[in-house]
Structure 1
Amino acid sequence: MNLNKVGKEIESLRMRLKEIAESRQEFGIKNLGEGMTTHGEELQRIRRSSRLSEDKDIVGFEEITKSLVEELLKEDENRRVVSIIGMGGAGKTTLAKKVYNHAGVRGTFNCRAWVCVSSSYNHKERLRTIIKQLNPITNELLDMLEKMDEQDLEERLYKDLQDECYLVVLDDVWEEEAWDCLARAFPDVCTSSRLLLTSRNRDVAQHADAYRHPYELKTLGQEDSWQLFLKKALGHGANAGCPPYLEEVGREIVRRCAGLPLAITVIAGLLGKKKLKSEWDKILNNFGTNLSRGQSGVSAILDLSYADLPPNLKFCFLYLGLFPEDSVISVRKLIHMWVAEGIMQKRDAKNLEETAAYDDVERLCSRNMVQVAEMTVDERIKSCRVHDLLRELAIRKAEDENFFQIHDTRDNEISAKSRYLAVHVLPLDENYLVSSTPPLRSLLFFNIRRYGKGISFSSKSFRKLRILDFENIGMGYNLPKGIGEVRLLRYLNLRGTFITRLPHSVGCLRYLQTLDIRTKLRALGILCDTF
């Protein structure tokens, strides 16, 4: 009877919504921003902006890029360290990419690798990342790297590099200890090799090489800031200008960004959607309000950009905060997750949920809330990443809204309000997912190499679970038959777990949409693709 009553209430609400929709059409009421561009035109503009790399859009780095390239190419047989320092959002990574991809640099160093070190430093994982870039990826190599301890990995990397003229970029190094650990694996054997290091901390750079001054990345000047803003907000070339009625307020907004490329880029992504002066004035006023609350300029801008996101894009942006810092996130995987969450709706009769999810990735990229990491040959976004300041924003907003929890220390306790849980570090008690855990909607594991004890899927914690991601975890057991009791499960990722058998109870997962079991089958020596 209760369910019947709820059903009637839902039907009543649907009828009311239908009446409202018909009334809006009858009286010519449009959605906010509707009528300015067609949906197709908007998608074309987004796709055009998605193709442009960060390096092509950035301004003001010409001289320092030239100096860095000259420094790397100086005749000196000894291994040398060149450092770039600057505050968060100053463009250190963008500058390093320009140098790394410079034609002269590519032609000089026959062996190149790039690794993001980040604040959550994992020595073995970073060593594996570099080795994979220097060798053809085979199942044998991956197996061997998993079995190696730190000393073995250091020796393998040293051996790979000892006869090479190499360039390795160590991006976003936070601690001196991280440099000390990595430095042992980089040979100094008169091959004119170079290490390019970026950091927010001057002490780290000077610790890496006490005899050379780091290149300090200053903020952009007012005119360079304005040119960057025009490129990002209006898609104009270097010689194009801003509409006269928007220029005054636009220049004031840019001035408030204090020359930080990240702040300029994000606010430009926000204003690029708005064509009315009143809308720009409102952003400027809100910017001042946030500053009066004690926020820094960058924080105020990021908050404004987040507040301007539509509800579905807010969810998508927050969801990205579950991934570890500096992660390169597969767009294909992300789309499957978002569809499994049930937040995607068909935009028209021919537009599938997957297409809607991909469109939202593009929209986040066009707003500069997400960075394109890799494109496919047909110029679609293959992978993306989130700047660490924007990831911090996502985590902060998620905590405010009790959206998700990240388990990144061994003594974390699972909040009773958590519905989305990302496990980055296993606690001392691996059986912490017990009946006291709140009902979860998503459970994701990252950078966990082994999970030796079974999970009881009969726990009430899993009754509402829709996403379960075990990717790259060395499971010490086959999937328990209790998986069939997770009746609402829509996304199950067992990629790289080496699970050899699925229980018959998988057939009970009637809502399952994605089952990823890609892994190497050792006995057969073949690669199993997505099922």
Structure 2
Amino acid sequence: MDIRNCNDPVYETWLDEVRKVAHVMEDMVDEYLHQVGQEHDMGCCFYLKKGLRRPRSLLSLNQIASNVREIEKDLANLAETKNRWVSMVNNGDNSNSNYIVKRSQDLANISRSLDEEDLVGMDKNREILQQWLGGEDAEFSVITVNGMGGLGKTTLAANVYRKEKEKFQCHAWVSISQTYCTEDILRNIIKELFKDRVDVPSNISMMDITCLEDILKRFLWKKKYLIVLDDVWTPEAFADLSRALVCTDKGSRVLITTREGDVAALASQGHILTLESLPEDKAWDLFCRKSFSRETGHECPEAMKLLTKEIVGKCKGLPLAIVLVGSLLHVREKTVEEWRRINDQLTWEIINNSRLGHIRNILYLSFIYLPTYLKSCFLY
């Protein structure tokens, strides 16, 4: 199932029918293996003793064969229905990309809005990023923050961006994501750069890519600017935008956050910041801050420490997961029974609890980006 189709009722109905047939097929395979296994266990002597009499299992195999023929008809009908009525999203088709865009925006929004106190264990990375952005080096430089989803790339970048942006003559923050339109990204950069200015270009919504690039080049010329490109998935996405980014000697910076190593490699020499999962002590500290914010010193009650450590361990050091799960438990009753119940059904909570939707987004966006053959392996 391609989750980009998940809001299409026709697709959902068709998929339900596919599931039903798949379950019947699975039952048929089990029944066949059961019958073959029985014959193998009985051995050839059974048939010699019975002479030419037809074994009862053969009748069952005939019935299975008949059922298989019916299933084949069902599959043919499903294939015909899909081709005629179900509009599928293929790997190269962006026609139904709103789902990805919305998920990316949701994830970016919550990541940007996290407080500074959520940057536990990020002090060193924050200092490095501030030094690269706010340094006196007059050369134009590209800085990349790299790491898997949920490590806090956007949160860190947003925190440093808020502190450093006033050192630049102009600044802009735009989210790219997997599905993007170069013209729309250029328009968003222009809108951000011209925010609170009276000389905003008119009719940019009607301009083609050449005009948009020209406006951007003329505006950035001889300026010290800071532009953040959040959530870049391919080198081509940056290449499409870089034509409009003037390389001046004013100390301008472009900051990229990405999950992909080949995008991170676009950085100027020595300007790749790779984030890692939080170590156990930092993960514990962050979780307790979110879950026990009302307790003195954010202390976890002694009776609940064992269960709490299990829950923190399931977050695998991912700051976003720790913050969201911790915030969820913050509003739950602080008893061993309640937390044991949450711990036992944490997988269910992640799938179904709306407060944890952003963890699902991390997984969904990564899954969509996989090539088809790896999706099959992942599901297996």
Distance, in Å, in 2 between the alignment partners of 1:392 and 1:285 is 26
Q: Tell me the residue number matched to 1:389.
A: 362
Partners of 1:265 and 1:368 within 8 A in 2: no
- Higher strand fraction (1 or 2): 1
Where 1:59 maps in the other structure, the secondary structure is coil
Q: Tell me the residue number matched to 1:239.
A: 297
Please list the CA deviations of residues 220-245 of structure 1 after superposition, one character each: whole Å capped at 9, or x if unmatched.
11111111111222225893201222
Where 2:297 maps in the other structure, the secondary structure is coil
Q: Tell me the residue number matched to 2:263.
A: 204
Distance, in Å, in 2 between the alignment partners of 1:174 and 1:198 is 9
Residue in structure 2 matching 1:285, options 339, 344, 351: 344
Partners of 1:124 and 1:149 within 8 A in 2: yes
Higher alpha-carbon Rg: 2
Are 1:180 and 2:225 an aligned pair?
A: no
Distance, in Å, in 1 between the alignment partners of 2:223 and 2:139 is 12
Distance, in Å, in 1 between the alignment partners of 2:166 and 2:196 is 23
Are 1:216 and 2:274 an aligned pair?
A: yes
Q: Mark the CA change 1:204 to 1:272 in structure 2 (over 3 Å): closer, same or farther.
A: same
- Higher helix fraction (1 or 2): 2
Where 1:118 maps in the other structure, the secondary structure is coil
> After the TM superposition, which of the residue ranges 158-167 and 113-122 deviates more from structure 2?
158-167
Q: Tell me the residue number matched to 1:54.
A: 115
**Alpha-carbon deviation of 1:213?**
4.8
Mapping for residues 52-131 of structure 1, pairs under 5 Å: 53-102=114-163, 105-131=164-190
**Alpha-carbon deviation of 1:75?**
2.5
Q: Which AA in structure 2 matches 1:268?
A: G
Partners of 1:227 and 1:238 within 8 A in 2: no
Work out which structure has the larger RCO, using CA pairs closer than 8 Å and 6 or more positions apart in sequence.
2
Q: Tell me the residue number matched to 1:426.
A: none
Q: Which AA in structure 2 matches 1:304?
A: E
**Alpha-carbon deviation of 1:266?**
2.1
Please list the CA deviations of residues 454-487 of structure 1 after superposition, one character each: whole Å capped at 9, or x if unmatched.
xxxxxxxxxxxxxxxxxxxxxxxxxxxxxxxxxx
Q: Tell me the residue number matched to 2:310.
A: 252
Please list the CA deviations of residues 484-524 of structure 1 after superposition, one character each: whole Å capped at 9, or x if unmatched.
xxxxxxxxxxxxxxxxxxxxxxxxxxxxxxxxxxxxxxxxx
**Alpha-carbon deviation of 1:283?**
2.2
Q: Which AA in structure 2 matches 1:147?
A: M
Distance, in Å, in 1 between the alignment partners of 2:224 and 2:300 is 47
Q: Which AA in structure 1 matches 2:299?
A: G
**Alpha-carbon deviation of 1:133?**
1.0
**Alpha-carbon deviation of 1:70?**
0.8
Q: Which AA in structure 1 matches 2:138?
A: E
**Alpha-carbon deviation of 1:73?**
2.3
State how many pairs are aligned.
255
Where 1:172 maps in the other structure, the secondary structure is strand
Distance, in Å, in 1 between the alignment partners of 2:145 and 2:235 is 15
Where 1:101 maps in the other structure, the secondary structure is helix
Q: Tell me the residue number matched to 1:135.
A: 194
Distance, in Å, in 1 between the alignment partners of 2:150 and 2:222 is 36
- Unaligned 5+ segments in structure 2 are 1-112, 369-380
Distance, in Å, in 1 between the alignment partners of 2:137 and 2:295 is 40
Partners of 2:151 and 2:276 within 8 A in 1: yes
**Alpha-carbon deviation of 1:139?**
11
TM-score when normalising by structure 2 = 0.61
Distance, in Å, in 2 between the alignment partners of 1:391 and 1:139 is 41
Mapping for residues 55-454 of structure 1, pairs under 5 Å: 55-102=116-163, 105-136=164-195, 141=200, 143-206=202-265, 208-209=266-267, 211-236=269-294, 239-274=297-332, 275-287=334-346, 300=347, 303-307=348-352, 309=353, 317=354, 367=355, 369=357, 388-389=361-362
Partners of 2:132 and 2:271 within 8 A in 1: no
Mapping for residues 436-515 of structure 1, pairs under 5 Å: none
Q: Mark the CA change 1:72 to 1:266 in structure 2 (over 3 Å): closer, same or farther.
A: same
Please list the CA deviations of residues 354-395 of structure 1 after superposition, one character each: whole Å capped at 9, or x if unmatched.
xxxxxxxxxxxxx4646xxxxxxxxxxxxxxx98427759x9
Where 2:203 maps in the other structure, the secondary structure is helix
Where 1:195 maps in the other structure, the secondary structure is strand
